[in-house]
Structure 1
Amino acid sequence: MTLPAPSPTGAVLVTGASSGIGAELARDFARRGHQVVLVARTESRLTALAAELGEGAHVLAADLSDRDQRAALPDRVAALGLHVDVLVNNAGLSTLGPVSAADPAAEMNMVEVDVVAVVDLTSRFLPGMVERGAGGVLNVASTAAFQPLPGQAGYGAGKAFVLSYTQSLSGELRGSGVTATVLCPGPVDTGFGAAAGFSKEDAENALPAFLWIPADQVAREAVAGFAKGRLVVIPGAGNKAGAAFAKLTPKRLLIPILAKSHPGLRQVMP
Structure 2
Amino acid sequence: MDNVVRATRYAVVTGASSGIGRELASLLAREGYALVLVARRTGPMRELADQLQRAHGVPSVVLSADLASPEGVPTVVDELKKRQLDVEVLVNNAGFGLAGNFEALPAEQQVGMLDLNVRALTALTRELVPGMVARRRGYVLNVASLAAFTPGPFMSVYYASKAYVLSFSTALHAELKGQGVTVTALCPGYTETEFAARAAEHQKARLFSGPMGTSSARHVAEAGYLALKRGKAVVVPGLPNRLSAWFMPLAPLGLRLRIAGYMNASGS
| TM-score (normalizing by structure 1) | 0.90
Distance 1:93 1:211, change over 3 A: same
**Separation in 2, partners of 1:196, 1:157:** 15
* 2:102 alignment counterpart: 99
**Separation in 2, partners of 1:205, 1:16:** 19
**Separation in 1, partners of 2:18, 2:73:** 19
- 8 A contact 1:143–1:239 mirrored in 2: yes
Distance 1:163 1:245, change over 3 A: same
Q: What is the deviation of 1:102?
A: 2.4
Distance 1:161 1:68, change over 3 A: same
- 8 A contact 1:9–1:81 mirrored in 2: no
**Separation in 1, partners of 2:16, 2:172:** 23
- 8 A contact 2:173–2:183 mirrored in 1: yes
* 2:3 alignment counterpart: none
- 8 A contact 2:99–2:202 mirrored in 1: no
**Structure 1 counterpart of 2:227, from 200, 225, 228:** 225
* 1:162 alignment counterpart: 165
| Mean Cα deviation higher: 95-104 or 182-191 | 95-104
Task: Provide the identity percentage.
Answer: 39
1:82 aligns with 2:81: no
**Separation in 2, partners of 1:206, 1:224:** 26
Per-residue displacement from partner, 1:171-204 (whole Å, max 9, x unpaired)? 2101111111110000001021221234998647
**Separation in 2, partners of 1:185, 1:130:** 28
Q: What is the deviation of 1:103?
A: 1.6
**Which consecutive residues of structure 1, in runs of 5 or more, have no partner in the other structure?**
1-6
* 2:17 alignment counterpart: 18
Q: What is the deviation of 1:134?
A: 0.6
| Mean Cα deviation higher: 236-245 or 191-200 | 191-200
Secondary structure of the equivalent of 2:147?
helix
**Separation in 1, partners of 2:237, 2:192:** 14
Secondary structure of the equivalent of 2:192?
coil
Per-residue displacement from partner, 1:82-114 (whole Å, max 9, x unpaired)? 221111100000122111212211110000000
* 1:3 alignment counterpart: none
**Structure 2 counterpart of 1:134, from 121, 134, 137:** 137
Distance 1:84 1:246, change over 3 A: same
- 1:231 is aligned with what amino acid? A
| Mean Cα deviation higher: 214-223 or 77-86 | 77-86
* 2:185 alignment counterpart: 182
**Separation in 1, partners of 2:162, 2:88:** 24
| Mean Cα deviation higher: 53-62 or 90-99 | 53-62
**Separation in 2, partners of 1:257, 1:206:** 15
* 2:256 alignment counterpart: 254
Q: What is the deviation of 1:75?
A: 2.2
* 2:195 alignment counterpart: 192
Q: What is the deviation of 1:254?
A: 1.9
**Structure 1 counterpart of 2:238, from 232, 236, 245:** 236
**Separation in 2, partners of 1:94, 1:215:** 17
Secondary structure of the equivalent of 2:35?
strand
**Which consecutive residues of structure 2, in runs of 5 or more, have no partner in the other structure?**
1-5
Per-residue displacement from partner, 1:132-170 (whole Å, max 9, x unpaired)? 111021100000000111111100000000000001101
- 8 A contact 2:65–2:75 mirrored in 1: no
**Separation in 2, partners of 1:148, 1:142:** 12
Distance 1:127 1:192, change over 3 A: same
Question: Matches of residues 50-69 of structure 1 in structure 2 within 5 Å?
Answer: 50-54=49-53, 55-69=58-72
Q: What is the alpha-carbon root mean square deviation over aligned residues? A: 2.0
- 1:141 is aligned with what amino acid? A
Question: How many residues were matched structurally?
Answer: 259
Q: What is the deviation of 1:28?
A: 0.6
- 8 A contact 2:14–2:37 mirrored in 1: yes
